[in-house]
Amino acid sequence: MANSKLNDLLNYKIKLEKNALTVLQKRYLKKDEKGNIIETPEDLFFRVAYNIAKADTNYDKNVNINVTVKEFYFAMADLDFLPNSPTLMNAGRHLQQLSACFVLPVEDSMDSIFETLKNTALIHKSGGGTGFSFSRLRPNKDVVRTTCGVSSGPVSFIQVFNSATEAIKQGGTRRGANMGMLRIDHPDILEFISCKDKNDSLNNFNISVAITKEFMDALESNTDYNLYNPRNGKSSGVLSARAVFNKIVEQSWKNGEPGVVFIDTINDKNPTPKIGKIEATNPCGEQPLLPYESCNLGSINLGHFVTNKGVDWERLEKIIKTAVHFLDSVIDMNNYPIEKIDEVTRSNRKIGLGVMGWADMLLSLGIAYGSQDSLNLAEKLMCFIQSKSHLFSQELATKRGAFINFNNSVYSDGKLMRNATTTTIAPTGTIGIIASASGGIEPIFALVYKRAQCLDNEEMYEINPYFEKIAREKGFYSKELMDKIAQKGSIQNFVEIPEDIRKIFITSHDISPESHVKMQAAFQKFTDNAVSKTVNFPNSATKEDVRKVYILSYKMGCKGVTVYRDGSREVQVLNIANKKDGLQSTKEAKPRVRPNRTVGFTFLMRTGCGKMYVTVNEDDDGVCEVFTQLGKSGGCISSQAEAISRLISLALSSGVDQQAIIEQIKGIRCPSPTLAESGAILSCADAVAKALEAYNKEKMSPDLFTQETVSNSLKKKQYSSDPDANMSGACPQCPECGEMLTFSEGCVVCRECGYSKCF
């Protein structure tokens, strides 16, 4: 692939941290059919650089691309700039799908819904994530003229998309990430707000409410606002803006979802308003897109652009130019999974240049995150990146031409632009690990934490390198102190650490929620698209605290906001302080005491092994036990059935959600399936799952249970035993390597192996 003039690049040794190399080996480097790695990091960056540089030949057949190859290679090899993961993974390989985020339309017809579902499968198969607005779907129980029936509403179709995503994963390596959005003025908005009330619901979706200016005005004046039926655009009633907003706040306070997107603010900044309105974003919310648009993202590692004199603006300008050139070329080299996406993407040519390592830059400069100095620098920095990226997009337009829809854009009265947008602050997940950079524009989560995997009981720490360096230089480093910090996460109460150091080395929970919002707003002010950031709350935060952040975000011009209250989900994503050993904590599950009397039903299930009697009982807190009887006691099959029922009973009495149990054992096959009146019974385990489902249906009958009993049976909510399902609520440990997961930039990521739901 490389000619002789470029072979020297492969001899250039890239400096990678251990975690970075681990992530590259596991997720990015090429492997043969046996799973053996057949590519070095140097090979990878050369592969990507050479492939993307070939786009230059589209505009000059005689161009020598060697200069561009070297420019792209060193930008990546020096870890100054990295494109999004699909580009690193797929450029120069058979798939050649280079985009991370897509938005697909969902129109109000079965044909459109399932055409979109098919396209979603193709995108997920290629490694992309998808965003949808379900706001065009008619509400639940609305008329369906073709069948003289009634519709089931948007939430039911979100569940269909979620199930399809679950199935698609079976043929791939991970489930695709989705964003589901619904306008605040849709008649089904209350159902949507609560659709992820249980942490194992819609586990392949993030959800956000698209909030309008009309709603925010009604909220401010404490009045009702209109709901509109999307089938005909007519008013279909009113709701109290205050009551609906309180519901959103309550759910977000409870488990972080739904997020909110200020859809009119987004469309006020829509670069191509004559082409269409923006209705949805990508899965993490930072990339608003028109239907069938995709966007190519990349991030500059800000920690690499600091000198003794401050920010190295000259070097930064050079890398911005390289990045704009690179990302525009990605559009040309991309193999889009759907022809319509190819067409629309090329018509607007949106790119999203962002940053990572913001916290690293601040630490290097001795500036406290959230201080006025940090906010001032954020605005200056992002203004510089945006203005220079626009300038270089204009330069590209003179060489390559403006984007097709330029005359229908907000730029049409000025200089030609190659790209409708140039800047986005996206999650940096795994590319942040490769670059050994702090995530996006987030503060650091913890200065010191103990690793979960230790050899010979030796205590091992992950220490922020900037903090370790200054701790050793100032003479306050000690193993004992690091152990204490690992337990606390923050250093603010450690008097043995100089006060000036404590002021600079602050973590996410040392920063007020208002300061988080102000930082997001500072970057948003000079970002074409949107900003992915999490507003962290302490566990003690109130609903009123969440409410204030939402209002502040809107007033400060943010396009959306994601909140996370520490410990708000039933299993903590990452918790430094609670455990004595400094590791993350989880709820200690203990089976509740069985009362003397329980109530329930016994079901006859016809299995391939004979008649099985399954008894499902509940106490005042819900379903608590399952008994099975199959054939004569003492037999192997009977003992296995008894073991299943005992383990299920233990899980139920410990608070594990029965739906999670059903999902684990339903569909298990044995060599002797059978057909019963209710359908196929695939195994004894499958029979138990279907008995539990049958019990739930019986339980919901008003003739058998009072509403109070039903409420009691539903009030225990726990997490799914499926690691991927837990990602919608929280997962304390990485399901692949067991290390701690962090919640930031609107998603979760393992800093050890790069596992993430979103990237």
Q: Which amino acid type is present at position 233? A: G
Kindly tell me the sign of the dihedral angle through the C-alpha atoms of 37, 39, 44, 47.
negative
- The partner residues of 602 in beta bridges, in order of sequence, read 615
- Three-state SS string across 373-402, please? HHHHHHHHHHHHHHHHHHHHHHHHHHHHCC
- In whole angstroms, give the CA distance from residue 60 to residue 349: 19
Using DSSP bridges, classify how beta strands 599-607 and 610-619 pair: parallel, antiparallel or unpaired.
antiparallel
Catalytic site includes residue 282: yes
DSSP string, 178-190: EEEEEETTSTTHH
Which among 330, 210, 213, 200 has a CA at the least distance from the CA of 258? Answer: 210
Q: Say if residues 441 and 520 touch (Cβ distance below 8 Å).
A: yes
Residue 248: partners with Cβ closer than 8 Å, 6 or more residues away: 193, 209, 258, 260, 550
Catalytic site includes residue 286: yes
Copy the structure tokens of residue 226: 């209109």
Q: Say if residues 442 and 533 touch (Cβ distance below 8 Å).
A: yes
* Helix, strand, coil % over all residues of the chain, rounded to 5: 40, 15, 40
Which alpha helices (DSSP H) does 704-751 contain, by range?
Answer: 707-714, 723-726
Q: Which residue is it, tokens 């480093």?
A: 477
CA 313 to chain CA centroid, Å, is 32
Q: Which one from 71, 286, 618, 625 is the annotated catalytic residue? A: 286
Q: Which one from 101, 284, 731, 750 is the annotated catalytic residue? A: 284
- The partner residues of 295 in beta bridges, in order of sequence, read 101
Q: Say if residues 439 and 751 touch (Cβ distance below 8 Å).
A: no
CB atoms within 10 A of CB 172: 12
Q: Say if residues 320 and 300 touch (Cβ distance below 8 Å).
A: yes
Q: Which one from 282, 296, 301, 419 is the annotated catalytic residue? A: 282
Tell me the catalytic residues.
282, 284, 286
